[in-house]
A and B are shown apart, each in its own frame.
Chain A
Amino acid sequence: MIAIVDYEIGNLYSIFKALERLGEEVVVTNQAQEIREAEAVVLPGVGSFEKAMENLEKKEIKEVIKENQEDGKPFLGINLGLQLLFEKSQEAPRKKGLSLLPGEVVKLPPTNKIPHMGWNRVYFKKNSPLTRDIPQGRFFYFAHSFYVLPEEPQAVVGICNYNVVIPAIVNHDNVWGFQFHPEKSSVWGMKVLENWVRSWKK
């Protein structure tokens, strides 16, 4: 069972459908207990960093996510869900993130059109179970105004270029994050999701 964390933010239906299509049992939940019992956890999200963190704190989901990491449970953050994994964000300088990964979230340079909206090529910096059978430079769908800067360069598995290098796939132990929306990235998006499920499924 995969738990999709529902903290009243954005469209959860698409990621739910995408995982269901892979034949997984999926539950959308805001119950700490249900998240605790799940085999794997997905933290989706669009919208604002501050509001998202407030909702996670209110529902005591923040603690469960930290426990999950200590237990080594498979965890996937998508878009804002990836950004929340870091310590802080320029979007809300006074709000602390989940701090599962060292580093920060910064604003895209103002010389770019913001949001970074649309399809961009993703290049892998190293091989991993998640990039299996996906060629270099495939297109994935992005929709974001901030991006992550992990402290450890080796955490960056895939990048895309939008006049700055944007970490697109991030990994540390059992924690994975995608800056793009796999559930909106057609064939290759479904492939990377399938690879994630396969990477932990026994």
Chain B
Amino acid sequence: MLARRIIPCLDVKEGKVVKGVHFENIKDVGDPVELAQRYEEEGADELVFLDITASYEQRETMIQVVEKIAEVLTIPFTVGGGIGATGQVANLLRAGADKISINTQAVLKPELISELAEMFGSQCVVVAIDVKRTWDRINRRSYWEVFINGGRTPTGKDALSWAQQVEKLGAGEILLTSMDTDGTQTGYDISLTRKVAERVRLPVIASGGAGKLEHLLAILREGKADAALVASIFHYRYFSIGEAKAYLQKRGIPVRVED
């Protein structure tokens, strides 16, 4: 049976991991390579690196970081942030990334998804969707709206139909972030994730809101997510990946643990 995945997410700025990451025995707490290795040893199923600066000059830095990460990791990893051109994707994959994640450019130019899927295969095209519950004043109803530019720009797009469109265009996975729960550590958005997971036949990675192990259980069970993206829980050492997986396994969620 396919295991549900636990995926630590690292924000990278100018070649350094920026969100507070509290590991002991690590010389440079912001070194993405050391952290990547540490998370693999702890049992991470995959890693996601988000380049949160992604200005033109800094893309070169990211390529170098990706090369160094690929040298040490033997689990898959995804790179996202500011990706909009097929040449850029080719460079990241050549540097050793297994998947890339696109967000804003996918919304602005949906055919980019098909282009990338055709060129590199669907399995390496992750479409990230940032979603916020919004009140539609005309139809007097609330809906899940897609946001771009790091959550700054509303698009008026309905997240559920966008997810379906993304699937048709050839995406291999959806990375679904709820802006309502992101950073709150009060739990993932279960109803949003479940709705999306039921609408598409693609794997869905849920993101935003994990603060306790119960949240992981809820998103994988009730939320029907295939994978959970986690930041604070692991970065601040509330729990180790091993503890999280043992907790889930005990409650009947299939996870990758050595038995």
Cβ-defined contact, A117 with B173, below 8 A: yes
List the 7 shortest-distance A-B pairs measured between CB atoms, nearest first. A47-B121, A13-B96, A143-B123, A119-B256, A139-B256, A46-B121, A119-B3
In chain A, positions 128-147 with a C-beta closer than 8 Å to chain B are 138-139, 141-145
**How far, in whole Å, are A8 and B188 apart by their CA atoms in the complex?**
39
Closest Cβ of chain B to A180, distance in Å, is: 11
The chain B residues found within 8 Å of chain A, CB to CB, are: 1-5, 40, 45, 67, 70-71, 73-76, 93-98, 118-124, 172-173, 201-203, 226-227, 256, 258
Interface of B, helix, strand, loop or mixed by DSSP: loop
Q: Which residues of A contact B95 (CB under 8 A)?
A: 13
Cβ-defined contact, A114 with B40, below 8 A: no
Cβ-defined contact, B74 with A162, below 8 A: no
Contact of A113 among B70, B75, B94, B202 (CB under 8 A): B202
List 30 contacting pairs A-B, 8 Å CB cutoff, sorted by A.
A10-B93, A10-B120, A11-B98, A11-B124, A13-B67, A13-B95, A13-B96, A14-B70, A14-B96, A17-B71, A17-B96, A47-B121, A114-B201, A115-B122, A115-B172, A118-B3, A119-B5, A120-B1, A120-B2, A120-B3, A121-B1, A139-B3, A139-B256, A141-B76, A143-B123, A143-B172, A145-B122, A181-B76, A184-B74, A187-B74
Interface of A, helix, strand, loop or mixed by DSSP: mixed
Flag A175-202 by CB within 8 Å of B: 1 or 0 each. 0000001011111011000000000000
Listed residue (B70, B98, B124) with the most chain A CB atoms within 10 angstroms of its CB: B98
A18 adjacent to chain B (CB < 8 Å): yes
- Given the contacts A118-B3, A186-B75, A11 and B94 also touching, CB distance less than 8 Å: yes
**How far, in whole Å, are A12 and B118 apart by their CA atoms in the complex?**
18
Closest Cβ of chain B to A135, distance in Å, is: 9
Q: Which residues of B contact A139 (CB under 8 A)?
A: 3, 256
**How far, in whole Å, are A112 and B1 apart by their CA atoms in the complex?**
12
Closest Cβ of chain A to B42, distance in Å, is: 11
A116 adjacent to chain B (CB < 8 Å): yes
Cβ-defined contact, B74 with A113, below 8 A: no
Q: Which residues of A contact B98 (CB under 8 A)?
A: 11, 14, 143, 184
- Given the contacts A46-B121, A115-B123, A118-B3, A190 and B74 also touching, CB distance less than 8 Å: yes
Cβ-defined contact, A13 with B123, below 8 A: no
Q: Which residues of B contact A162 (CB under 8 A)?
A: 2
Cβ-defined contact, A118 with B45, below 8 A: yes
Cβ-defined contact, A11 with B2, below 8 A: no
Cβ-defined contact, B75 with A141, below 8 A: yes
**How far, in whole Å, are A11 and B94 apart by their CA atoms in the complex?**
5
Q: Which residues of B contact A120 (CB under 8 A)?
A: 1-3
Cβ-defined contact, A186 with B74, below 8 A: yes
**How far, in whole Å, are A52 and B38 apart by their CA atoms in the complex?**
36
Q: Which residues of A contact B2 (CB under 8 A)?
A: 116, 118-120, 142, 162
A23 adjacent to chain B (CB < 8 Å): no
**How far, in whole Å, are A113 and B226 apart by their CA atoms in the complex?**
10
Closest Cβ of chain A to B38, distance in Å, is: 14
**How far, in whole Å, are A110 and B93 apart by their CA atoms in the complex?**
28
Cβ-defined contact, B76 with A47, below 8 A: no
A29 adjacent to chain B (CB < 8 Å): no
**How far, in whole Å, are A139 and B4 apart by their CA atoms in the complex?**
12
A161 adjacent to chain B (CB < 8 Å): yes
- Given the contacts A13-B96, A119-B45, A139-B3, A183 and B74 also touching, CB distance less than 8 Å: yes
Contact of A46 among B71, B124, B201, B256 (CB under 8 A): B124
**How far, in whole Å, are A161 and B254 apart by their CA atoms in the complex?**
13
Cβ-defined contact, B120 with A143, below 8 A: no
Listed residue (A13, A80, A112, A183) with the most chain B CB atoms within 10 angstroms of its CB: A13
Cβ-defined contact, A186 with B40, below 8 A: yes
